[in-house]
Amino acid sequence: MLDCTELTHGILLPIPHNHQHPRPSLAMLIDTLSPLHAVVLSVVAWVVWKVAYRFFVRTSLDKIPGPKSKSILTGNLGQMFDRHGWDFHHELGQRYGPIVKLSGILGQQVLYVFDPKAMHNIVVKDQYTYQPAEWFTESLQVGFGPGLLSVYGETHRRQRKMLNPVFSINHMRHMTPVFYAIAHKLRDAIAVQVKETPRDLDMLRWIGRTALELIGQGGLGYSFDPLVEDKPNDFGDAMKNFLPTIFHFQLLRFKFHWFTKIGSASFRRRLVEMIPNPLVQKIKDIVDTMHSHAVEILNGKKQALKAGDEAVVEQISQGKDIISVLLKTNMEASEEDKLPEEEILAQMATLVFAATDTTTSALSQILSLLAEHPNVQERLRREILEVKQGQEDISYDMLVDRLPYLDAICRETLRLYPPVSFVFREAFEDAVLPLSRPIYGVDGQAISEISIPKGTFLAVGILASNRNKEIWGEDALEWKPERWLSPLPEAVTGSRIPGVYSNLMTFLGGGRACIGFKFSQLEMKVVLAILLQSFKFSPADCSKDITWNLAGVKYPTIGKVDNHPCLPLKVELISIRNFESFIRFSRLASGDVSILGQKLIYRLC
């Protein structure tokens, strides 16, 4: 018999009748626990509760079809994030319809979505309900400050309002000479490598350096890399190292946002300084380096603006870069629209982060495809040379309007091989997701809308949408640039895909669509126009082993085991005739480029 009347430590405990040998009570056990045991016990209890909850509590998502969970701990996430997980993603797209249920951490339900109407709801109509998850934004906030990728709601809207006009076509036009100057340097640097004989070059490395320099000069008015020589740059190194270093804390990242809520920023800073872990200290140093360079660049711009037009024009991008234009617009903005300096600073690293790997991936993929398809490459080269006739460089308007084949190649590559395969969103409140047409649940019943419980994670399936056969036709999985040379079929134009670009989800859509999508297309076209005039690209001896790896931004490696990003292609200098502009350029240029140019002309003659 138990007498349940004694209250100990606030817990109602059963009291045994035999008081001579009392059995240990829960309260006594708790009293004997060390703080460490208590933490471990709480975590275990939390995990057990989470797992039990998922097993026993039914939700509206239970009926959605999807693959079986692979593990209690990580569900299907292992397959989803596997760098060789293309077959799994292909299966999600082809086998399970436009809404797929997946398992996340400890059985949490995740919806993979590529139904056009549902995607429209997520990224456009209910964009404030479905927002990037905190575990994603907080680590970027710690690294870069409150920039576009890491802020929410009104702050995000205000930042976009100031930044959207800075990315207008008019400003892109002014950016063109800056991009050409960088593309010329790239051409000169590669020409030196292959001047005597065709060679295998790691084009990923060259394109990566170029993409960083393009956003450096075009975005910040800052030069990371002269390209024609190897020069160390600690800002560039810090940017490159940020993601790989933070990746070591991948699992912690999911709970990282708790840390950012503890005390003031200076308190958290002191706390971090006390953590005796080399990786934590490395992240701190990286963040410090990024921040101090951003401050230095911004101060330089402010001083030039104060000193007047002459000082502005003397800057690297002559005051035409994104941050300079933003600074000027911000000064003229009303008090309610103005961005505080902290937010302008945060845009710098945000832009470099968002622009570099994405553009590198897309451009490298195009070069790789051109190497595999020599006829396409030859046709594109002819188009470029015909339009270029007599000009130093193809003008912005001609680049955009008079090179349809170049445009088709870019669009088709961005459709079939989007650098970002999916993006995550979290439902910040309960919501209802309508569908373009009903799907069938696991019980055979038609479902035309889905109740989404608060806290559900959703993956917007960029890859699956871009490859959807119902929209793009039976040849959706083939790389066919010609599909863009005639009007697109009604299935595409009428599909209401909510993407900002060409019925594709590559740059997403809605209020958080890629702000740099025009910038990125211009970069790609300028670089391709310059490279193809001078070089022929073909597969390197090891090209058959090149594997593209799935990641936040996909990247190539040689083989499936080595994880070193690399894209070897055979590069051949085509003919000296195509160096007319190079000769002219090197005569005009000064310093290293001129000497380099003279050396090269000497060798070629």
Q: Binding string, 178-217, against ligand HEM, x = CB under 6 A?
A: -------------------------------------x--
How many residues interact with ligand HEM (rule CB under 6 A)?
25
Q: Specify the pairing of strand 99-103 against strand 11-12.
A: unpaired
Q: Which is nearer to ligand HEM, 66 or 132 (CB)?
A: 132
Contact 384, 535 (CB under 8 A): no
Shortest distance (Å) from residue 182 CB to ligand HEM: 13
Shortest distance (Å) from residue 63 CB to ligand HEM: 28
| 434-463 positions binding ligand HEM, by CB under 6 A | none
Q: What is each CA distance from 277 to 160, 181, 268, 386, in whole angstroms?
A: 37, 43, 15, 59
Q: Which residues of 214-225 are buried (b: 16+ CB within 10 A; e: fewer)?
A: bbbbbbbbbbbb
Contact 531, 524 (CB under 8 A): no
| 358 lines the binding site for ligand HEM (CB under 6 A) | yes
Q: Which is nearer to ligand HEM, 54 or 415 (CB)?
A: 415
Piece of the chain touching ligand HEM by CB under 6 A; list 8-16, 306-314, 338-346, 418-426: 418-426
Q: Which residues contact 423 (CB under 8 A, 6 or more apart)?
A: 132, 459, 460, 462, 508
Candidates 359, 377, 421, 466: give the one binding ligand HEM (CB under 6 A). Answer: 359
Q: Which residues contact 364 (CB under 8 A, 6 or more apart)?
A: 203, 204, 207, 556, 567
Piece of the chain touching ligand HEM by CB under 6 A; list 417-425, 487-495, 560-568, 595-603: 417-425
CA distance 318 to 523: 18
Piece of the chain touching ligand HEM by CB under 6 A; list 11-19, 348-356, 444-452, 487-495: 348-356
CA distance 253 to 265: 18
Using CB atoms within 10 A of its CB, is residue 125 exposed (0-12), middle (13-18) or buried (19+)?
Answer: middle
CA distance 91 to 202: 32
DSSP 501: B
Shortest distance (Å) from residue 218 CB to ligand HEM: 7
Q: Binding string, 514-543, against ligand HEM, x = CB under 6 A?
A: xxx--xx-----------------------
Shortest distance (Å) from residue 327 CB to ligand HEM: 16
Shortest distance (Å) from residue 459 CB to ligand HEM: 11
CA distance 13 to 270: 44
Shortest distance (Å) from residue 215 CB to ligand HEM: 6
CA distance 207 to 72: 41
Q: Which is nearer to ligand HEM, 188 or 225 (CB)?
A: 225
Shortest distance (Å) from residue 36 CB to ligand HEM: 37
Q: Which is nearer to ligand HEM, 110 or 149 (CB)?
A: 149
Q: Which is nearer to ligand HEM, 358 or 534 (CB)?
A: 358
Q: Is the dihedral of CA 49, 50, 51, 52 positive or negative?
A: positive
Shortest distance (Å) from residue 379 CB to ligand HEM: 23
Q: What is each CA distance from 141 to 297, 342, 355, 458, in whole angstroms?
A: 20, 11, 17, 22
Q: Binding string, 211-250, against ligand HEM, x = CB under 6 A?
A: ----x---x-------------------------------
Shortest distance (Å) from residue 426 CB to ligand HEM: 11
Q: Tell me which H or E stretch contains 254.
A: none
Shortest distance (Å) from residue 247 CB to ligand HEM: 17
Quick one: which of 153, 103, 76, 65 has its CA closest to 428? Answer: 153
Q: Which is nearer to ligand HEM, 118 or 596 (CB)?
A: 118
| 419 lines the binding site for ligand HEM (CB under 6 A) | yes
| 399 lines the binding site for ligand HEM (CB under 6 A) | no
Candidates 129, 330, 421, 506: give the one binding ligand HEM (CB under 6 A). Answer: 506
3-class DSSP string for 282-314: HHHHHHHHHHHHHHHHHHHHHHHHHHCHHHHHC
Q: Which is nearer to ligand HEM, 427 or 600 (CB)?
A: 427
| 127-156 positions binding ligand HEM, by CB under 6 A | 132, 148-149
| 339 lines the binding site for ligand HEM (CB under 6 A) | no
Contact 534, 183 (CB under 8 A): no
Name residue, tokens 């003397």: 314
Shortest distance (Å) from residue 512 CB to ligand HEM: 4
3-class DSSP string for 316-381: CCCCCCHHHHHHHHHHHCCCCCCCCHHHHHHHHHHHHHHHHHHHHHHHHHHHHHHHHCHHHHHHHH
Contact 114, 421 (CB under 8 A): no
Q: Binding string, 155-174, against ligand HEM, x = CB under 6 A?
A: -----x--------------
CA distance 309 to 126: 44
CA distance 86 to 94: 12
Residue 318 identity: Q
Shortest distance (Å) from residue 169 CB to ligand HEM: 14
Piece of the chain touching ligand HEM by CB under 6 A; list 34-42, 358-366, 491-499, 591-599: 358-366
| 362 lines the binding site for ligand HEM (CB under 6 A) | yes
Shortest distance (Å) from residue 147 CB to ligand HEM: 7
Q: Which is nearer to ligand HEM, 70 or 158 (CB)?
A: 158
Shortest distance (Å) from residue 123 CB to ligand HEM: 8
CA distance 175 to 521: 12
Contact 479, 369 (CB under 8 A): yes
Q: Which is nearer to ligand HEM, 180 or 582 (CB)?
A: 180
The residue with its CB nearest to ligand HEM is 516
Q: What is each CA distance from 537 to 38, 194, 531, in whole angstroms?
A: 62, 12, 9
Candidates 109, 217, 315, 350: give the one binding ligand HEM (CB under 6 A). Answer: 350
Residues near ligand HEM (CB under 6 A): 132, 148-149, 160, 215, 219, 350-351, 354-355, 358-359, 362, 419-420, 423, 506-508, 512, 514-516, 519-520
